[in-house]
Amino acid sequence: MSLSMRHPFRLPIAPAGTDKSRPPSAGNETRLGAAERLATLFAAEASKHDRTGRLPAGPFDRLHAAGLLNLTIPTALGGTGAGLGEVVAVIGHIARGDASVALVHTMHLLHVASIFRRASWPRHLSERIAWEILDGPALVNALRVEPEQGSPARGGLPATVARRTERGWRLDGHKIYSTGSTRLTWAIVWARTDEDTPRVGQFLVPMNAPGIHIKETWNHLGMRATASHDVLFENVPLSADHAVDIRTPADWARPDPVQTAWNTLTVSALYDGIARAARDWFVTYAKDRQPSNLGAPLATLERFQEAVGEIDGLLAVNRRLIAGAAAEVDVDPLSLTATEAGLIKRTVTGNAIKAVERALELTGNRGLDRAHPLERHYRDVLCSRIHTPQNDSILVAAGRAAFGL
């Protein structure tokens, strides 16, 4: 029987005592191979989507067909139950093909993982989301940033308000930088309650609910096809149980180290993947380009060889940092502190930017020509600087930790 014929709120549950661990296997290799093959397909269309600024449906249909949207759904619910190590490897591959698709995919995977890690979520809602992803494609993301507040990571109460009604809640607010907005099935919206002592947290919102309007405002330098538009909520009705995780503001002040590790390492893998795509293009260019005054490929010049060596050195450090930290988290989810996670993100993204810049230095005008992908990779990799957590916050946090403050 197909998934679409099953009851939408109940999924097959593994028998008690079943070993849910998934050690490396041929199946794991197949998923990574599928990601690599899809990246090649996505790369062929990436420049077109970048020019139009539209988030296509096709890549997510393919990701769904390959089982790469259900990576972080538990095996007991029919998903892969992948660990962080496999997730960052898949993201790295997809980012080499199309960074915009990879960003939407990344946000989906890490937020789906968080749903099944938190006991506060009603089981019937988490199971429904799992079913829709498996039957999908269905996409999930968290909508947090607001025009006045900026990033919630820097503090402050959200202006988005959930008001109590007889049947549940009514949601009003304005979110910006809502990655994947036009393709989302579910949004996890950061809002405060209208209670005398407001609580803050996550409200699960179906994106087909009445009162939701997407304002197409996203027109940025990089990640242009992510549909990171504004989303307006006007008197959106929600059931009472869709307040899936609301707490006092003080309770949210304590960071979740597991979520921090997933956030920083998946984002790091994404931008590292962009840099690797730039590196691959640069190597091919240097091997193929043969100026008439040289009479040999650029790859025969020592300065080009030195540049590739420098780029590969930066990316080797990235690979070790990402893979090593992810492996540690898979063994012990609390092994990576928030401070360490932030420093890894800063180092990896800084190396990724340096790698792409080094390739640009030697390709000159051709590297900045929109006929070639290098200029898009450069625009995309620069977005890592404003991707939470940002470098100033990372370094201040590390300094305060060092001083015991």
Asked if 373 and 367 touch (Cβ cutoff 8 Å), the reply is no
Mean pLDDT of 31-42: 96
Sign of the Cα pseudo-torsion (148, 153, 83, 3, in order) = negative
Residue in 249, 254, 281 with CA at minimum distance from that of residue 377: 281
Which residue from 387, 303, 315 is spatially nearest to 356, judged by alpha carbons?
Answer: 315
Residue type, 160: T
Q: What is the pLDDT of residues 69-84, one digit of tens each?
A: 999 999 999 999 999 9
How would residue 3 be classed by pLDDT, with cut points 50, 70 and 90? very low
- CB atoms closer than 10 angstroms to residue 291: 10
Instruction: Please say if the pLDDT value at position 152 is more than 70.
Output: no
119: Cα separation from own chain's centroid? 23
How many CA atoms lie less than 13 Å away from 69 in the CB half-sphere?
A: 24
pLDDT for position 319: 98
Confidence category of residue 119, pLDDT binned at 50, 70, 90: confident
Residue tagged 């041929």 (tokens): 26
Q: CB burial class (10 A; 0-12, 13-18, 19+) of residue 68?
A: buried
> What does the block give as tokens for 246?
């609301």
User: Which is higher by pLDDT, 113 or 14?
Assistant: 113
User: Which is nearest to 76 in space by CA: 16, 26, 8, 9?
Assistant: 16
Q: Are 55 and 227 in contact (CB under 8 A)?
A: yes
Give the least confident one: 8-17, 31-40, 301-310, 371-380. Answer: 8-17
Mean pLDDT of 312-326: 98
Q: How confident is the model at residue 29 (pLDDT cuts 50, 70, 90)?
A: low
Q: Which amino acid is at 81?
A: G
Per-residue pLDDT at 27 exceeds 70:
no
> What are the pLDDT digits (tens) for 174-208?
999 999 999 999 999 999 999 999 999 999 999 99
The rounded distance, in Å, linking the Cα atoms of 102 and 32 is 14
Q: Domains of the chain by range and CATH?
A: 20-138 (1.10.540.10), 143-249 (2.40.110.10), 257-403 (1.20.140.10)
Peptide bond just before 389 cis, omega within 30 deg: yes
In this prediction, residue 23 carries a pLDDT of 36
What is the DSSP annotation of 224-289?
A: GGG--EEEEEEEEEEEGGGEEEEE-HHHHTS--HHHHHHHHHHHHHHHHHHHHHHHHHHHHHHHH-
User: Is-contact 97 42, C-beta < 8 A?
Assistant: yes
Is the model's pLDDT at 307 over the cut of 50? yes
Written as one letter, the residue type at 102 is A
Reading the block at residue 35, the tokens are: 């990601």
pTM for the model stands at: 0.91
Helices (H), 116-216: 123-135
| Three-class DSSP category at 162 | strand
- Of residues 248 and 150, the one with the higher pLDDT is 248
Q: Is there a cis peptide before residue 137, judged by omega within 30 degrees of 0?
A: yes
